[in-house]
Amino acid sequence: MSEPRARKPVRRFVLHKILPPVAWRAYRALGESWSYRVRNVEALHALMERRQPVVGAFLHSRTFSLVHYFSLPAQGRWILMCSQSRDGEAMARIEEGLGFKVARGSSGKGGARALVEMIKAQREDRSLNSCLAVDGSRGPRGVAQLGIITLAQKTGSLLLPVAASTNYCWRWQRSWDRTIIPKIGAEVAVDVGDPIPVPAKMDESELQSLRLHLENTLLHMHQALDKATGYHDSEPLRIA
C-alpha cells in the first residue's frame, strides 16, 4: 500500500508542474505549423470593436483544431471551461499557458459552479468572451446542451457558432467525440457563423427551439466544411 501512495505526489508533480509547460509549448509549436483558411472572422472582430460579448459555440471534437487559432491575440480574450478531473488540472494549466482564463468544471462535475465563475468573469470584464463545447464534456456527440444558452443569457452575449475542419489529421477513435488532431503542416479551415441573439427570457418551448437551432446550425456548418476540406468520418457528427 505504501508504494502506490508514495507514487501519488510524484505523479501530481509531473502532471501539474512538468507536463503543462512542455505540453503547451509543444501544442503552440504544432499550431504555428498550421495554416488557416478562415471565413467570416470579420463578424467576430466587429463584435469585439463594439465590446459586444460573445459565447463561442463549437463541437467538442473540434476543440484541438480551434484552441490555437483563438489563442492568437487578434481573436481577443477568452475564458474556457475545463474538467475538474485530475487530468483536467494539467489541461487547465496548459490552456492558461496559452493565454486563456480557465473555469474548472464540466457537465459531469462542478459544471454549475464553473458556469457561475464564467458569468461573473464576463460581467466584470466586458472585453472578455467565453466559449463552450455545445455537446459538453461527455456528450452525446453533437447534441447541444442548455448550459451555453444560460451563459449567453446571463452575460448579455450573442452566440457565435464556429466550425473547424481539416483532412490532414489524426482522429482519436476511442474518444466519445472522435477528436480531430491536425497534423504538422495541416491547413485548417475555420468558419465563423452569423451571431445568434439570445433573449433574456424564454419559455421552455422557446428555449428548446433555440437549442435545436444552434445544434443544427453547427452541424450544417461542419457538414459543409468537411465536404470542402475532404474530411470524412464513417460515424455521424450527431448521435441522437
The DSSP element (H or E) to which 103 belongs, if any, is strand 101-104
Looking at residues 174-194, what average pLDDT do you find? 97
pTM (global) more than 0.75 = yes
Q: Residue 101 is part of a domain; what is its CATH number?
A: 3.40.1130.10
H-only helix segments in the chain: 2-13, 19-32, 41-49, 63-71, 86-97, 111-124, 147-155, 204-229
236 within domain boundaries? no
235 within domain boundaries? no
37 within domain boundaries? yes
Looking at residues 119-144, what average pLDDT do you find? 95
112 within domain boundaries? yes
Output the pLDDT for position 85: 65
234 within domain boundaries? no
> What is each CA distance from 42 to 64, 226, 231, in whole angstroms?
22, 22, 25
Structural domain containing residue 44: 2-229
Looking at residues 179-202, what average pLDDT do you find? 97
CB–CB of 169/182 below 8 Å?
Answer: yes
Instruction: Name the residue with higher pLDDT: 57 or 5.
Output: 57
CA dist., res. 93 & res. 109, Å (int) = 18
Output the pLDDT for position 2: 47
| Residue 49: φ, ψ to 5° | -65, -35
Judged against a pLDDT cut of 70, whether residue 232 lies above it is answered with yes
Output the pLDDT for position 14: 67
